[in-house]
Structures are given as structure tokens and as C-alpha cells.
Amino acid sequence: MKTDIIFYRLFQEFPDTFFELIGNPPESASFYQFSSVEIKQTAFRIDGVFLPTQGSENQIYFVEVQFQADGEIYSRLIAEICLYLRQNQPLNDWGAVVLYPNRNVDTGDIKHYREFFTSGRVRRIYLDELGEGASLPIGIATAKLIIATDDIAIAQARELIDKTKSEISSPSKQQQLLQFIETILAYNFPTMSREEIEQMFSLSELKQTRFYQEAFQEGVEQGIEQGKVQGKLKAVPAMLAAGLTVEQVAEALDLSVE
């Protein structure tokens, strides 16, 4: 899985993370829709664009995730943005953000575009300079976990899991965040199975959330009350939505996987 795909999913599922990264209130996300934009009749594709909701005067944010050295990054980015502006003629102002894991990857030459940088219209963010995970909002700490090396990813992940459980009150959002953390861990440790990851990082505690327990109990009660396969099957969607695997649902309801 490519790193930019993980960031695309991060910003799509948790758009408030982007606005925390650029120093804006996370509530700003409610005024935007995030998507990837393809420039017609060219080979260009912008990694992500936060477009203001209809009627909003907020500025457009172009997002580029760059985890490999590229000397032409800025010439390509500015060209993509200018083509987008020409083709779409938006009324809103715009800004751009380039995300790097560290400064060493930032090898682009800004000589022809320095006005964009001095004005702040184009900003660069280096994830390794954002501070320590314990002091960061959960969204930014999650973004930092993506770049964590193996020797520190375990400690950061455990810290982030604990923080998610203690600070996120919404059971559904808590589950969503824990599942996303699991995705990052699978990316960082590609040779590990899901069971090994869950055991190492105590992700089994997802099953202790109220959302999981209520769905699980509902399934058991429906199965006992109705005592029929059809009654048990009605509980399956809620149990799957709570994060159980097909095998776990089958075991809990005493059904075959098939």
C-alpha cells in the first residue's frame, strides 16, 4: 500500500486532521469535502483537494503527499494547480500544502516559485517536526504514526490506542480510529498477520467498547430468543459492523461460516 493512499484515507475519514496540521480549528472540516481531482486532457492528478461546500467563501486547499525525493515536485504541483484553476474557474481563493516525512525528502527547487512560498500560499509540513505524540491531537499523532520506524512504532501505537480509548467518547468513531491504526500497523509491519498485530498492540480491546458489546449482546439475545437460524442471521450485520470477523460471528452465534 502506498503512503499517499493511507493519507488519502486519513483525510477522507478524518478531515479535521488536515486542519489541525495547518493550524486551523478542526471544526473547519465541516465546511469542506475532500476528494482526489484529475486534470482533464493531461496526465496530472492532484493527490487531494479540500473543496469548500457550496456557497462557502473558504479557500480551496490542494494537498500533496511526497514521501520520495522529487526535484520537479514544485513545477508539477504549480502546473497542476494552474490547470485546475483554468479548467474550473473557482471563485474561492486557494492554498496548497505539501506533506513530507522530513526535510531530507524535500529536494524540489523553489527558485521559479518562491513567491508562492514567501506569501504562505504554498506551505510545507515536515511530519517528524510536529512534536511528541503524547502532546499532539489524536489526528496529528495518527499521521505521525505513518512515518514511525519499526523500533518506535510499537510504543507510539500503544500510546495512541490508549489515547483514542480515553479521549474519543463516540463508540463508532473510536472503532473507526482503532481500525485505521490497525491499517497503519499492517502497512508498517507487512509480514505480520492481523492476529499478531492485534495481540501485540492489544487491539482486541476494541471488543470492549460499548458499540461492540451492544452489538454482540444484541446478536446473542436475538439468537437465544428466536432459536432459529433466521433469527441469528438478523444479528449478523450489526456484529460485522462492530468489527467482528465472519469467523467470530459464526462462533458467537453457533453458525457455520458458510
**pTM exceeding the 0.85 threshold for the entire prediction:** no
Per-residue pLDDT band for 42 (boundaries 50, 70, 90) equals low
Residue where a domain stops, chosen among 95, 129, 163: 129
Cell numbers at 129, concatenated:
517536526
pLDDT of 159 over the 80 cut: yes
Find the CATH number of the domain harbouring 84.
3.40.1350
Domain containing residue 247 = 209-253
Residue where a domain stops, chosen among 87, 105, 129: 129
Residue 29 forms part of a structural domain: yes
pLDDT of 15 over the 80 cut: yes
Q: What percent of the chain has pLDDT over 70?
A: 79
What counts of helices (H) and strands (E) characterise the chain? 11, 5
Residue 163 forms part of a structural domain: no
Residue where a domain stops, chosen among 129, 162, 184: 129
Per-residue pLDDT band for 72 (boundaries 50, 70, 90) equals very high
Ordered alpha helix ranges (H), 119-209: 138-147, 150-167, 171-188, 194-201
Residue 192 forms part of a structural domain: no
Tell me what the mean pLDDT of segment 27-52 comes to: 82
pLDDT of residue 114: 95
Ordered alpha helix ranges (H), 168-242: 171-188, 194-201, 210-226, 229-241
- In the 8-state DSSP scheme, what is residue 205? G
pLDDT of residue 1: 46
Tell me what the mean pLDDT of segment 27-36 comes to: 92
Q: What's the number of domains the chain is made of?
A: 2
**pLDDT tens, 187-204?**
878 777 767 776 766 665
Whether residues 213 and 125 share a domain: the answer is no
